[in-house]
Chain A
Amino acid sequence: MFPYAEATWDVVDGAMFMGWGSALPGLTTAIAAIICVVVLVVGQGSETAKAKRFDK
């Protein structure tokens, strides 16, 4: 996953994170965003279901 051809820091003069230059940054950003949305949907569903138990 080292984003440069040679495994040495001497050649690094810019971005130095995993997946730089590949699809990984975009893919992980999309997955992170999806996680946020899914968590909110699931959270809303379960909270509503629990709240309904207290309806008179």
Chain B
Amino acid sequence: MEEQIAELTARLAELEAASGGGSVTNTMFAETFYYLSIPLMIIIHAGFLAYEMGASRLKNVLSSGVKNILAFAFMIPTFYFFGWWVYWGFPTGIPGDPGPAGISGIEYANAIAWGWGESAQYMGPNIADQASGVFFGAFALFAATTASIMSGAVIERIQTVGFIILAVVLGSFAWVVAAAWGWHADGWLVTQWGVHDFGAAGLVHAVAGFFALGVLINLGPRIGKFNSDGSANHIPGHNMPLTVTGLMLIIVGFWGFLMACVIVPGEAWSWYADKPTTIYGTPITLSALSFNILMSIAGGIIGAWIMTRDPFWMMSGALAGIISCASGLDIYYPALAFIIAFSAGVILKPAADALEKMGIDDAVGAVTVHGTIGLYGVVMLGIWGAGFPALQGAAGEAPTISLIGQIVGAVVFFLCGFVPGYVVSLILKMMGMLRIREGAELAGMDVVKVPNAGYPEWGGDAPVTPAE
């Protein structure tokens, strides 16, 4: 008998050890998962860099690159200084009361997200907290993505410092407010309206796209873009293959962006110990992502091809395809995702043309691809996903997705982007910090801003593109 008890005790100890080991493995998986999403999202930035530089004329190619690189560089520290704090501080709105999930509010943010005092322990190396940094990193790269989206729209005529101020307002404040409200278990848009935006179609893409629109209104078009009768001229970039390759790199990086939208098990803040969820605590699988991302890329490309036959718009269609389905990548049926993405690819170019007819010079179509299609995606989920629980919880307690709720979310995301974009760019314009001087724009921004030449064999002031 004693022998048997001893054997059982030993077996129990074995099982406990095994269980502990599993927990450690799970924790390491969670940390590695987010850590790997960071370099993948940096590929988004590499893609935007190539995309913008290719879309610029020869005389502006390096200055477009400098602007994009600097946006990334300023986004990381400013998101560290206050962006992370805004996200945790205001999900319930102003004045920042704590929410029901207990992970929000000014007091909570003060305790974990400032780089000084007691909370600094969570904002630096800490053997007892191995996850905050990687989670912060993933969010900081979302911030950098928003700045990159705006960056492409304003190429070839914006001042560097003015642009960086706008990038900081967008990346470390505007989209963060939208994320706190609509991408947090305590967010008022989620708890009160059942807004569901798993892959951030509205709170990243639409916010950034309409922020860019607000800026473009004050910035004005490039010299030569519009004729006196209002008709538009096409200003071709100097390297379409570079632009298209950049767009493909953005697609690669999107896998990192969307994997970082998943809350994996293994951390104290995970919803479950054994299964992944969305940021709302609702279930998701990596299979769902794989099925739906691939089908939406395909649908977007095909829709744009039939309308344009242009590789620029086809790859933009791929982006539009993903963005149009991003809100519901967790619950769409793949064939439905394909159809929605196809429709986004079809409407993409006409929507961009309509914007141009209004006198807006969006050099890369960012307002349309990210803004218009982002809102389209948020609303589409309201049509197809109505009735799905938007948040973890018992029947009757959890809010459900609805068309009205998604429309409310779309309006709020639009305002979160457009209003700060318009107001801050207007202030910069009044201070003379928005647009480069006319002579410099005509000479080319590279000779003004960059002590180097993109293609020295052709000279920094080549009047025509190499292809010509």
Contacts and interface: CB of A to CB of B under 8 A. Distances in A.
Given A39-B305, A39-B306, A8 B394 contact: yes
Contacts of B335: 25, 28-29, 31-32
A35 B302 contact: yes
B302 A2 contact: no
Interface residues on A, range: 20 to 34
B332 interface: yes
Contacts, number: 79
B331 A7 contact: no
Interface in B328-345: 328, 331-333, 335-336, 338-339, 342
A1 B385 contact: yes
A9 B328 CA distance: 15
A1 B342 contact: no
B282 interface: yes
A31 B384 contact: no
B333 A7 contact: no
Interface string A12-49: 10001111100011001101100110010011000000
B358 interface: no
A25 B305 contact: no
A6 to B, nearest CB: 4
Contact of B387 (A1, A17, A32, A35): A1
A48 B395 CA distance: 57
B389 A7 contact: yes
A32 to B, nearest CB: 4
> In the complex, which of the residues B295, B332, B333 has the most CB atoms of chain A within 10 Å of its own CB atom?
B333
Contact of B333 (A9, A10, A17): A17
Contacts of B388: 1-2, 7, 18
Interface in B282-337: 282-283, 288, 295, 299, 302, 305-306, 328, 331-333, 335-336
Contacts of A31: 335, 339
Interface in B194-253: none
B302 to A, nearest CB: 5
Contacts of A8: 389, 393-396, 398
> In the complex, which of the residues B283, B295, B302, B305 has the most CB atoms of chain A within 10 Å of its own CB atom?
B302
Nearest to A43: B306
Contacts of B305: 39, 43
B302 A12 contact: no
A18 B342 contact: no
Contact of A12 (B283, B393, B398, B400): B283
Pairs of residues from A and B, 10 with the lowest C-beta to C-beta distance, nearest first: A28-B335, A8-B395, A2-B387, A29-B335, A6-B395, A32-B335, A17-B333, A32-B338, A28-B336, A2-B388
Given A9-B398, A32-B299, 6 more contacts: A7-B396, A11-B395, A18-B332, A18-B388, A28-B335, A32-B339
